[in-house]
Structure 1
Amino acid sequence: MIEIRDVGVEVGDVTLLAPVSASAERGEALIVRGGNGTGKSTLLRVLAGVRAPSSGAVRIGGRAVRERDPRFRGCVAAMIGLPPLAPDLTVLDHVALVATTWWADPGEAESRARRVIAELGLDDLHERFPHELSSGQTQLLGLALVLARPFEVLILDEPEQRLDPEHVDAVLHALRARRDDGATLVIATHSAALADHLADHTLTLDAAA
């Protein structure tokens, strides 16, 4: 499902990502590990189609990565940093809005939104606005926005950020359910819990020389 072949990223004389190779099949999780500055986020941006590699190539679902290709956007969902949030929309409004753009039936969209919100432990926060959320709750809202849409490949950059152990466990269960349903996951993480319980493959990045 995902093929990463000698992908590297340079800006001028600065190496953001030393060349790496990895792969993952449908229903597998590729965990990306490494210290700060080793290129984890850069690699995920390449996979999500928002940064072009300086060398090497990526194929997802047998096709080249092209962010403007509707087939690619329908296949790949990504959260690399928190998404923008509207100050006048509630938690439910946000998630239902995203769901509605992907599911034609409004009732189905709201039902899916409510299920994802409950799955991540946000069910008591339906009517809160973004400024009324803690940093951890905002992180969970960002994840809910990604999980509310269909995808074949899910790309996440440190989904455990700002979360207490209880909510990391909720995220783990949600991600494991997607993997078991056949989605391919690529997750950069410092969490041993996520890595130990999800990884089918591990890619460890080293700082560029």
Structure 2
Amino acid sequence: MIEVSEVSVVADDVTLLAPVSTSAQPGEALIVRGRNGTGKSTLLRVLAGSRTPSSGTVQIGDAAVSERDPRFRRRVAVMIGLPPMAPDLTLLDHVALVAATWFDRREDSTARANEVLADLGLRTLHARFPHELSSGQTQLFGLALVLVRPFDVLILDEPEQRLDPEHIETVVRVLRSRRDGGATLVVATHSDVIADGLGDRMLTLEAAA
């Protein structure tokens, strides 16, 4: 599903990502680790099609790696930072709206939204507005906005941010279900719990020499 060959990113003579090669198959989770500044987020942006590599090649399935390609957008879901949130929509409004862009029937999108909120422990908060959430609840809500849609590949940058240990375990459980359902996951993380509980393959990035 994912093949990365000698990909690097250089900007203004600064190496943001040293050459790296890796791969991941359907039903596998690739965990990306490394100190801050080693290029974890940069690699994820390359995989997400929002950053062009300076060298090397990236292949994700048979679609062009470009966020402007509809086939690519259908295949790949991404969370790098929190998604946009509207202050006057409830959690359920948000998640159902995203689902409605992917599912034909309103009943399907509403059911899917409720299912994802329940999976992440947010079902009782469905009528709240984003500004009424704690920082950890906001992080889980951001994940719900990504997980509610169909995907073959899921790319996440530090999903453990703002979460206490109990909620990190919840995220591991939910992500494991997506992986076991056949999705390919790429997760950059500093969390040993996520790495140990989810990872089939490990990629550790090093700073450029």
C-alpha displacement of 1:106: 0.4
What's the counterpart of residue 36 of structure 1?
A: 36
SS in 2 for 1:66: coil
C-alpha displacement of 1:64: 3.2
Compare 110-119 and 54-63 and name the one that shifted more.
54-63
Native 8 Å contact 2:49 2:67 kept in 1: yes
Native 8 Å contact 1:58 1:64 kept in 2: no
C-alpha displacement of 1:59: 0.3
- Percentage of matched positions with identical amino acids: 71
In 1, distance between residues paired with 2:132 and 2:199?
A: 34
What's the counterpart of residue 15 of structure 2?
A: 15
What's the counterpart of residue 130 of structure 1?
A: 130
C-alpha displacement of 1:62: 3.3
Native 8 Å contact 1:139 1:161 kept in 2: yes
What's the counterpart of residue 110 of structure 1?
A: 110
What's the counterpart of residue 46 of structure 1?
A: 46
The two structures have a TM-score, normalised by structure 1, of 0.99
SS in 2 for 1:108: helix
Runs of at least 5 residues in structure 1 that lack an aligned partner in the other structure = none
Runs of at least 5 residues in structure 2 that lack an aligned partner in the other structure = none
In 2, distance between residues paired with 1:87 and 1:9?
A: 36
What's the counterpart of residue 184 of structure 1?
A: 184
Is 1:74 aligned with 2:66? no
SS in 1 for 2:73: helix
In 2, distance between residues paired with 1:37 and 1:124?
A: 38
SS in 1 for 2:50: coil
Native 8 Å contact 1:31 1:195 kept in 2: yes
C-alpha displacement of 1:67: 1.4
C-alpha displacement of 1:173: 0.5
C-alpha displacement of 1:126: 0.5
Q: Deviation per CA, 1:11-66: give whole Å up to 9, x if none.
A: 01111000100000111010000010000000000000001000101000133312
What's the Cα RMSD here? Answer: 0.7
In 2, distance between residues paired with 1:115 and 1:63?
A: 29
Off by >6 Å, runs of 4+ in structure 1: none
What's the counterpart of residue 172 of structure 1?
A: 172
What's the counterpart of residue 141 of structure 1?
A: 141
C-alpha displacement of 1:122: 0.6
Letter aligned with residue 11 of structure 1: A
Is 1:92 aligned with 2:92? yes
